[in-house]
Amino acid sequence: MRIAHVRERTAPAGSPWRLAAALNAGDEPARWLDLEVARRRAVRADPRLEHNAALFRQPISTLDAHLALGLRVEALGELLEGFEPGDDDDPASLDGGDLRFGPPILRPPSLRDFYAFERHVATIWARRDSPVPEAWYRLPIFYFSNVSEIRGPGDPVWRPAASQELDYELEVCVLVDTPALDLAPDRAEEAIGGYMIMNDWSARDLQREETAVRLGPAKGKDFATSIGPWLVTPDELEQAAEGRPGVYHLAMAARLNGVERSRGDMAELHYSFGEMIARASAGAELFPGDVVASGTVGTGCLLELTGGQGPWLQPGDVVELEVERLGVLKNTVVSSQR
């Protein structure tokens, strides 16, 4: 199942997002099901649903609101499975070409970004003429990013005013959709509601100054994080399973202005998402809507590809991050803030 926040491209500015599920397979689903229209239709057909199931009791607005009710992502599958399409003008069935997509989770309570791809880590430490710290091989390491500057597919991104070195980072992230505390790695995957692509935009010059004092990153990262284009539930990835909890053989690529610059595979993760979530939940509760990210895949940023010398992203550049089975996350760099 693929879940997305959508609205018509011609909708007035500020129109609310609607929650939809893909009706067909493929990298770019052509039709999407408006889940609130499907809910109302199901209740009209069987009024008992409103009394017997929380999913049907009140309107479906956003995934954030759905999770706040204590429902998991997979519960939405009941609407998709029971849907019977009508004619071509069926208001429940939406043409993907007419839609704009938002972040799959609009306001995550937290965002933890790990450092889990060894090839990327080794390259960065080699630039410092140092080996990878021994602790990295013992502990999945993460930092907290800023949840107030989440971007969706198609949203513009600008570099901070004090920076001249804007970079992309090709990552995969997961959505936690149930409370989790002190999970074991072999059980932690059960807390995953779905997978998304993430671009952890980075201002390298600001980041360089912050990390020089062994603290951060902060202003080097907090200005934008893109996620999307939709949320893909774990069952859609089963055929690509690598064998470790939460890890799949999924090709990852980054294109800059249509030219491929980065390529890797999610299966190159040193730490599985099960291990990452176990570490994140150790002594601290995770909540529905929390996002946990992998860190940059090897070759997945300009910092690696250019040895830290640039050239860096400029206004007008189009960055496309593609992960097999997860879609394409596309954003354009613009010259100024909103």
Percent of the chain past pLDDT 90, that is, above it, reads 85
Q: Where are the beta strands (DSSP E) in 183-289?
A: 192-199, 202-203, 225-232, 251-256, 259-265
Task: Give pLDDT, residue 24.
Answer: 84
Q: Taking 70 as the threshold, does the pLDDT of residue 88 lie above it?
A: no
Q: Residues 158, 163, 164, 166: what is their CA dihedral angle, to the nearest 10 degrees?
A: -50
Residue range(s) defining the domain that contains residue 324: 111-332
Bridge partners, 21 (sequence order): 3, 33
What sign does the dihedral 73-184-146-168 (CA atoms) show?
negative
Burial label for 244, CB within 10 Å (0-12, 13-18, 19+), is: middle
Confidence of residue 243 (pLDDT cuts 50, 70, 90): confident
Note the Cα 52 to chain centre separation in Å.
33
CB 6 within 8 A of CB 17: yes
Q: Are 116 and 95 in the same domain?
A: no
- Gap between the terminal Cα atoms of the chain: 34
Burial label for 14, CB within 10 Å (0-12, 13-18, 19+), is: exposed
Question: In this predicted structure, which of 18-22, 238-242, 265-269, 275-279 has the lowest mean pLDDT?
Answer: 238-242
Q: Taking 80 as the threshold, does the pLDDT of residue 84 lie above it?
A: no
Phi, psi of 121, deg, nearest 5: -60, -45
Which strands sit side by side in the sheet containing 251-256, from one edge to the other? Answer: 259-265, 251-256, 318-323, 327-332
C-alpha pair distances (Å), 104 with each of 115, 193, 249, 253, 271: 23, 11, 22, 20, 24
Q: Are 219 and 278 in the same domain?
A: yes
Q: Are 25 and 166 in the same domain?
A: no
Q: Are 178 and 258 in the same domain?
A: yes
Note the Cα 313 to chain centre separation in Å.
21
As a whole number of angstroms, the distance between CA 246 and CA 188 comes to: 9
Q: Are 129 and 252 in the same domain?
A: yes
Residue given tokens 């907090």 in the structure block = 222
Percent of the chain past pLDDT 70, that is, above it, reads 99
Q: How does pLDDT run across 113-129, given as a tens digit for each residue? A: 999 999 999 998 888 88
Task: Give pLDDT, residue 336.
Answer: 74
The tokens for 199 are 């671009």
Q: Are 212 and 273 in the same domain?
A: yes
Q: Taking 70 as the threshold, does the pLDDT of residue 228 lie above it?
A: yes
Domain boundary among 101, 133, 154: 101
Phi, psi of 132, deg, nearest 5: -65, 130
The CATH number assigned to the domain holding 164 equals: 3.90.850.10
304 is a domain residue: yes
Q: How does pLDDT run across 140-172, given as a tens digit for each residue? A: 999 999 999 999 999 999 999 999 999 999 999
Q: Taking 80 as the threshold, does the pLDDT of residue 85 lie above it?
A: no
Task: Give pLDDT, residue 86.
Answer: 65
237 is a domain residue: yes
Q: How does pLDDT run across 256-309, given as a tens digit for each residue? A: 999 999 999 999 999 999 999 999 999 999 999 999 999 999 999 999 999 999
275 is a domain residue: yes
What sign does the dihedral 278-283-286-287 (CA atoms) show?
positive
Is the N-terminal amide bond of 234 cis, ω within 30° of 0? no
Structurally, how many domains does the chain consist of?
2
Task: Note the pTM of the prediction, 2 decimals.
Answer: 0.96
337 is a domain residue: no
Q: Are 191 and 59 in the same domain?
A: no
Q: Are 44 and 164 in the same domain?
A: no
C-alpha pair distances (Å), 45 with each of 19, 84, 88, 203: 21, 12, 21, 53
The tokens for 295 are 């860190």
